[in-house]
Amino acid sequence: MKLIQDEAQYERARGALITMAAELDDPLSSMTDQEREKKNLIYDRTAESVREYRRSEMVVVYPGLKQVYEQLGYPYRDFSLTPEVISAPSDNREADSKADTKKAPERATESQQTKKSAEVNLSAWLED
């Protein structure tokens, strides 16, 4: 079984599942029994690969699912061990925290301005 490595492959596999399902479900297709059986096997392997990739993503988000999947015997890969997910510790922790606190009031000010402009725009039609 070919393993899905990234989100692009995952989306292509999902699209292929839809296409294959339509072809397998078409009663008027000129597909022979051997072709149908082969395509059905490909469909099953692709569906299992998609499920495994999705489970692997869910284990990263919800680590408690590892135990559940192991109890149920569902295959998954542990993506939390990949270098992309593990981030290096920051040497400038104090500078990062100060920069974050400076950005927070700006966001609040922007949201307040958006609310004020929305109030003005909502009542403007009454004056016409």
- Residues sharing a CB contact under 8 Å with residue 51, sequence separation 6 or more, in sequence order: 74
Report the alpha-carbon distance of residue 15 to residue 96 in Å, rounded.
42
pLDDT band at 97 (very low <50, low <70, confident <90, very high): very low
On the question of pLDDT at 89 being above 50, the answer is: no
Within this chain, do residues 120 and 73 fall inside the same structural domain, yes or no?
no
What was the pLDDT predicted at 78? Answer: 76
Within this chain, do residues 31 and 65 fall inside the same structural domain, yes or no?
yes
Within this chain, do residues 127 and 83 fall inside the same structural domain, yes or no?
no
* For residues 30-35, average pLDDT: 92
Report the alpha-carbon distance of residue 58 to residue 87 in Å, rounded.
19
Within this chain, do residues 24 and 3 fall inside the same structural domain, yes or no?
yes
* For residues 93-103, average pLDDT: 47
The one-letter code for the residue type at 103 is K
The answer to whether the beta carbons of residues 48 and 3 sit under 8 Å apart is: no
Report the alpha-carbon distance of residue 114 to residue 120 in Å, rounded.
10
Percent of the chain whose pLDDT exceeds 90: 36
Between these two residues, 75 and 87, which has the higher pLDDT value? 75
Between these two residues, 87 and 79, which has the higher pLDDT value? 79
pLDDT band at 11 (very low <50, low <70, confident <90, very high): very high
Domain enclosing residue 96, as ranges: 89-128
Split into its structural domains, the chain has a count of 2
The overall pTM is greater than 0.85: no
* For residues 17-29, average pLDDT: 92
pLDDT band at 46 (very low <50, low <70, confident <90, very high): very high
Within this chain, do residues 81 and 98 fall inside the same structural domain, yes or no?
no
